[in-house]
């Protein structure tokens, strides 16, 4: 009764909402905001949550069960609602909205805003006038860049206050780094501010992806030192040039004509999204990483991409480039002054594919880690994804797949492979010799094998599968389904047909194929299932065909029957060894008379 009273009270609040655009908030019984949404019409949008419908996801149903109060804010336009929604989500972090799941920070290289700036690593971006470069996907990548800079340039690493008045007072003395040649001693006035700032300008250019100024500077000093016969100095500049070329070869150069842009790609699963970010500066990849987002109630791709770009750009990547490459357009109202490009060809499309590959690799790593840490949860999630993808009522924990094999109608065989919880159960695999079909009739073969398989399981009270997969198109599926109807199993066991194009699935009575998600895990399970059926069936077919060929060759020998052939193969294993055997060796197996016939067959003489 309390539930009915709560829903009735909420529906009264909904009925009083205006039809204007705005933002609505759902609060739980503790007064905590659990969801923030935007609407072109507040009343119509909010009322859709309280209409009983099978279209509602489990997350929506869970959200509705927790709503205790509804608040709303009316705004002037839908774009204003979008901006306000984004601001409230950032501030309130509601549990049912799309949020960054990983809270790790990424490493940056900072050039400090101070006299004689230090160049060092940081994970905190503070708006204090310092210059930040990155982010870097890993600390090892960032360290390699810093090591290169310190190999080419002599920079201070101390934390002294090198304000001009402090240096003028003579408060400092040179340290070990000066004596090692790693610092030119700005603390005691042995390096001018102008000379140091020139080095910093070249370092910033390198961090932006432009190596030209550093290369020309090193080449000029190397040439001058050699002309003045300062060969040790020339050798130092030469080694720094080599370090520059090594660094350049390790950089991912895309195309210098692309200049500066950002790339976002996204892969959306049932409960999470994986967004990859790539930063291009002067045609080179200077930063890339992937973040995982937990999906909220709304999981429409455009909205997920919008939230991912907004959250990543604010929490990690800083200001976006003026051009952003994306797989599809986000809600552009949130990103004033940004041009979004959906490439169809060329270098920008290659960049998007590069970003998508990074997202796929990260996703695979996360799922593999989940499988290792919590195999039961991984299996349940995988089976649930397969159930939804194939529109099944129950999770397909037990799957059986059938495949036929023959060569121009000869030696027809079939195979049945069994998967339990998405993994092969090889002890339950079965081979079938086709008994009633003559010639290459795949449909009749499929009917015979399915009938034999499930008639026996019914007689013995065996475990029926949760799903049958038939390797073939509509014809194979119809043949197998007709047998299930004969056995009265058509309502107990769902069945699908797998077309030649792996992502195409056929259902009974539906002439059109259903396309599996190419990036989803269900396709991987189906791929593994069909590969196993092919492998198992073809191996058996080859063995049978090879055995038939061997026996047919020995049967050509007059006077040698099936028993003698079996004795010869048991002893010699192969026809080649029978062919090479001597009269005495053959006599030991089949007697002198038969041995002579076999020997003469393989060693004919003019007399015989």
**Tokens 């198109």 map to which residue?**
473
Segment 169-197 mean pLDDT: 87
Phi, psi of 224 (to 5 degrees): -65, -45
Please count the CA atoms within 13 angstroms of the CA of 436 that sit on its side-chain side: 10
More confident residue, 607 or 363: 363
pLDDT at 541: 52
Q: Which residues contact 20 (CB under 8 A, 6 or more apart)?
A: 41, 42, 74, 75
Residues 577 and 570: their CA atoms lie apart, in Å, by 11
Residue 432 pLDDT class (50, 70, 90 cuts): confident
- Give kind and range of the element (H or E) at residue 25: strand 22-27
Residue 217 class from Cβ within 10 Å (0-12 exposed, 13-18 middle, 19+ buried)?
Answer: middle
Q: Are strands 272-281 and 284-294 parallel, antiparallel or unpaired?
A: antiparallel
Nearest by Cα to 71 from 29, 19, 17, 21: 17
Q: Are 119 and 155 in contact (CB under 8 A)?
A: yes
pLDDT at 10: 86
Asked if pLDDT for residue 481 goes beyond 60, the answer is yes
Phi, psi of 47 (to 5 degrees): -65, -25
pLDDT, tens digit, for every residue of 256-282? 556 778 899 998 876 788 888 888 876
CB atoms within 10 A of CB 119: 23
Q: Which tokens sit at 542? A: 């080859």
Asked if pLDDT for residue 399 goes beyond 90, the answer is yes
More confident residue, 591 or 147: 591
Residue 1 pLDDT class (50, 70, 90 cuts): very low
SS3 of residue 15 by DSSP? helix
pLDDT, tens digit, for every residue of 67-98? 888 888 888 787 778 777 877 877 788 888 87
Q: Are 516 and 526 in contact (CB under 8 A)?
A: yes
Q: Are 145 and 207 in contact (CB under 8 A)?
A: yes
pLDDT at 502: 59
Distances (CA, A) of 321 to 271, 279, 282, 295, 325: 29, 8, 12, 26, 10
Asked if pLDDT for residue 219 goes beyond 60, the answer is yes
Residue 131 pLDDT class (50, 70, 90 cuts): confident
pTM assigned to the model: 0.53
Give the 3-state DSSP-derived string for 257-278, with helices as H, strands as E and coil as C. Answer: HHCCEEEEEEEECCCEEEEEEE
pLDDT at 396: 92
Q: Are 351 and 254 in contact (CB under 8 A)?
A: yes
**Tokens 């501030």 map to which residue?**
91
Q: Which tokens sit at 433? A: 């010799």
Most confident of 93-102, 345-354, 481-490: 481-490
Residue 454 class from Cβ within 10 Å (0-12 exposed, 13-18 middle, 19+ buried)?
Answer: buried
Using the 8-state DSSP alphabet, how is residue 321 labeled? P
Residues 60 and 96: their CA atoms lie apart, in Å, by 9
Q: Which tokens sit at 131? A: 């210059």
Decide if 256-370 and 386-543 have a common fold: yes
Give the 3-state DSSP-derived string for 550-588, with helices as H, strands as E and coil as C. Answer: HHHHHHCCCCCCHHHHHHHHHHHCCHHHHHHCCHHHHHH
**Residues of the chain with pLDDT > 70: what percent?**
87
Q: Which residues contact 88 (CB under 8 A, 6 or more apart)?
A: 23, 25, 33, 36
Q: Which of 179-193, 348-362, 443-457, 512-526 has the lowest mean pLDDT?
A: 512-526
Using the 8-state DSSP alphabet, how is residue 3 labeled? H
**Residues of the chain with pLDDT > 90: what percent?**
7
pLDDT at 408: 43
pLDDT at 340: 92
Which CATH superfamily hosts domain 2-97? GIY-YIG endonuclease (3.40.1440.10)
Q: For domain 556-602, which CATH number applies: 1.20.120.1200, 3.40.50.300, 1.10.150.20, 2.40.50.140?
A: 1.10.150.20
pLDDT at 95: 82
Q: Write out the E strands in 368-449.
A: 398-407, 410-420, 423-424, 430-433
Q: For domain 386-543, which CATH number applies: 3.20.20.150, 3.40.50.2300, 3.40.50.300, 3.30.420.340?
A: 3.30.420.340
Q: Which residues contact 448 (CB under 8 A, 6 or more apart)?
A: 414, 432, 434, 435, 436, 437
pLDDT at 257: 58
Q: Are strands 495-498 and 69-74 parallel, antiparallel or unpaired?
A: unpaired
CB atoms within 10 A of CB 496: 22
pLDDT at 265: 92
Residue 233 pLDDT class (50, 70, 90 cuts): confident
Mean pLDDT of the chain, nearest integer: 81
Nearest by Cα to 200 from 233, 234, 156: 156
Using the 8-state DSSP alphabet, how is residue 313 labeled? I
**Tokens 């910033």 map to which residue?**
204
Residue 289 class from Cβ within 10 Å (0-12 exposed, 13-18 middle, 19+ buried)?
Answer: buried
Asked if pLDDT for residue 444 goes beyond 60, the answer is yes
pLDDT at 284: 66
pLDDT at 495: 92
Distances (CA, A) of 186 to 118, 178, 259, 323: 12, 10, 35, 41
CATH class of segment(s) 256-370: alpha beta
SS3 of residue 389 by DSSP? helix
Q: Which of 223-237, 359-373, 379-393 has the lowest mean pLDDT?
A: 359-373
Q: Which of 154-158, 246-250, 470-474 has the lowest mean pLDDT?
A: 246-250
Angle at 388 between CA 387 and CA 390, to 5 degrees: 70
Q: Which tokens sit at 482? A: 């007709």
Residues 146 and 34: their CA atoms lie apart, in Å, by 44
SS3 of residue 326 by DSSP? coil
**Tokens 């774009």 map to which residue?**
79
- Give kind and range of the element (H or E) at residue 323: strand 323-325
pLDDT at 206: 78
pLDDT, tens digit, for every residue of 288-333? 778 888 777 777 888 888 888 888 877 655 578 889 999 999 887 7
pLDDT, tens digit, for every residue of 502-516? 568 888 888 888 888
Q: Which of 8-22, 252-266, 493-507 has the lowest mean pLDDT?
A: 252-266
Residues 432 and 256: their CA atoms lie apart, in Å, by 61
More confident residue, 604 or 44: 44
Q: Helices (H), strands (E): how many in the chain?
A: 19, 21
Phi, psi of 510 (to 5 degrees): -120, 110
Q: Which residues contact 170 (CB under 8 A, 6 or more apart)?
A: 188
Domain ranges of the chain: 2-97, 256-370, 386-543, 556-602
């Amino acid at each position: 009764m309390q539930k009915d009273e709560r829903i009735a009270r909420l529906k009264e609040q909904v009925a009083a909402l205006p039809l204007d655009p705005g933002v609505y908030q759902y609060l739980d019984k503790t007064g905590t905001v659990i969801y923030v949404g935007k609407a072109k019409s507040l009343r119509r949008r909010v009322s859709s949550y309280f209409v009983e419908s099978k279209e509602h996801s489990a997350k929506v149903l869970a959200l509705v069960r927790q709503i205790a109060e509804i608040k709303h804010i009316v705004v002037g336009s839908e774009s204003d609602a979008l901006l306000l929604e984004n601001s409230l989500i950032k501030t309130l972090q509601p549990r049912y909205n799309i949020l960054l799941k990983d809270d790790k920070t990424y490493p940056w290289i900072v050039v400090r805003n101070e006299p004689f700036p230090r160049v060092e690593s940081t994970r905190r971006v503070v708006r204090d006038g310092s210059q930040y470069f990155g982010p870097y996907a890993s600390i090892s990548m960032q360290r390699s860049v810093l090591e290169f800079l310190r190999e080419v340039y002599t920079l201070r690493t101390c934390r002294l206050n090198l304000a001009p008045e402090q240096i003028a007072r003579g408060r400092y003395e040179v340290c070990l780094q000066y004596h090692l040649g790693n610092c030119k001693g700005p603390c005691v006035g042995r390096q001018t501010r102008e000379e140091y700032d020139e080095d910093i300008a070249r370092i910033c250019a390198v961090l932006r992806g432009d190596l030209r100024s550093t290369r020309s500077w090193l080449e000029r000093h190397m040439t001058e030192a050699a002309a003045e016969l300062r060969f040790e100095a020339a050798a130092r500049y030469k080694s720094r040039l080599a370090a520059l070329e090594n660094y350049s070869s390790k950089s991912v150069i895309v195309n210098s004509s692309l200049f500066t842009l950002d790339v976002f790609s996204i892969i959306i699963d049932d409960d999470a999204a994986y967004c990859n970010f790539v930063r291009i500066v002067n045609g080179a990849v200077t930063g890339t990483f992937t973040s995982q987002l937990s999906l909220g109630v709304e999981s429409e791709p455009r909205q997920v991409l919008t939230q991912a770009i907004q959250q990543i750009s604010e929490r990690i990547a800083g200001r976006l480039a003026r051009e952003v490459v994306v797989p599809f357009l986000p809600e552009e109202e949130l990103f004033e002054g940004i041009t979004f490009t959906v490439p169809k060809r060329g270098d920008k499309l290659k960049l998007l594919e590069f970003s998508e590959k990074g997202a796929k690799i990260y996703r695979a790593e996360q799922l593999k880690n989940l499988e290792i840490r919590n195999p039961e949860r991984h299996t349940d999630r995988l089976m649930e994804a397969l159930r939804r993808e194939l529109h099944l009522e129950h999770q397909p924990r037990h799957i059986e797949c059938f495949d036929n094999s023959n060569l121009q109608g000869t030696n027809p065989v079939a195979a049945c492979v069994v998967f339990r919880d998405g993994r092969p159960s090889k002890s339950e695999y079965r081979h079938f010799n086709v008994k009633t079909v003559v010639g290459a009739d795949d449909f009749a073969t499929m009917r015979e094998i399915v009938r034999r398989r499930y008639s026996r399981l019914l007689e013995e009270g065996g475990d029926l599968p949760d799903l049958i997969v038939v390797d073939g198109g509509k014809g194979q599926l119809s043949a197998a389904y007709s047998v299930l109807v004969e056995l009265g199993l058509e309502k107990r066991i769902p069945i699908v047909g797998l077309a030649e194009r792996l992502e195409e699935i056929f259902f009974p009575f539906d002439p059109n194929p259903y396309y599996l998600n190419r990036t989803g895990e269900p396709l991987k399970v189906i791929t593994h299932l069909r590969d196993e059926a092919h492998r198992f069936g073809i191996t058996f077919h080859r063995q049978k065909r090879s055995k038939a060929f061997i026996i047919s060759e020995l049967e050509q020998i007059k006077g040698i029957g099936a028993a003698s052939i079996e004795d010869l193969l048991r002893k010699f294993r192969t026809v080649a060894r029978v062919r090479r055997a001597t009269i005495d060796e053959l006599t030991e197996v089949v007697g002198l008379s038969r041995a002579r016939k076999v020997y003469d067959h393989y060693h004919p003489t003019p007399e015989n």
